[in-house]
Copies of this chain bind each other. A is one copy, B any other.
Amino acid sequence: MKRLRRNRERAVLFSRTRVRVRFSETDAMGVVWHGNYAKFFEDGRENFGREYGISYLQVLGAGYTVPVVELTCSYRKSLTFGEEIIVETGYVPSEAAKIQLVYALYRASDNELMASGTTVQVFLDKDGQLQLTAPDFYREWKRKWNII
């Protein structure tokens, strides 16, 4: 996952949020089921969105949806019930009409890196049409945060 590392280095805006592992998220191996990490990424993404003014509902208000078209996750250590995690979300600048984010999951008790990942989102307008150029609201958002 070279790309994951490369993207982490290029990220420019960050937010951090705390999430408690739910019992329902564990599996019969006694650890969090790997597919549930997408929920933690989403927690991080929404927290990032609230902090920087680009949350799902704000994007929707601007007339767009931003479906995830790519997701990667690299698992380093198992998460168990009772643990709390810090989800760090970073924004990766890009010329493309996309939102690229990187995620790092740390165990809150000792700051150990447990997992990391990436998502890529595209813009669809109200008719579900893929936007090949960045919507105006997104360009403005980038300007506001000095992202070139």
Stretch of A18-26, A86-94, A101-109, A140-148 on the interface side? A18-26
Q: Out of B38, B68, B82, which one reaches A38, CB within 8 Å? A: B38
* Chain B: CB-nearest residue to A75: B69
Q: How large is the interface on A (under 10, 10 to 19, 20 to 34, 35 or more residues)?
A: 35 or more
Chain B residues contacting A42 (CB-CB under 8 Å) are 22-24, 35
Supposing A28-B28, A30-B28, A38-B38 touch, asked if A72 and B75 sit within 8 A by C-beta, the answer is: no
Give 18 pairs: A residue, B residue, CB < 8 Å, sorted on A: A23-B27, A23-B33, A23-B42, A23-B56, A24-B27, A28-B28, A28-B30, A34-B71, A35-B38, A35-B42, A38-B38, A56-B81, A67-B75, A69-B75, A69-B76, A70-B72, A70-B73, A71-B71
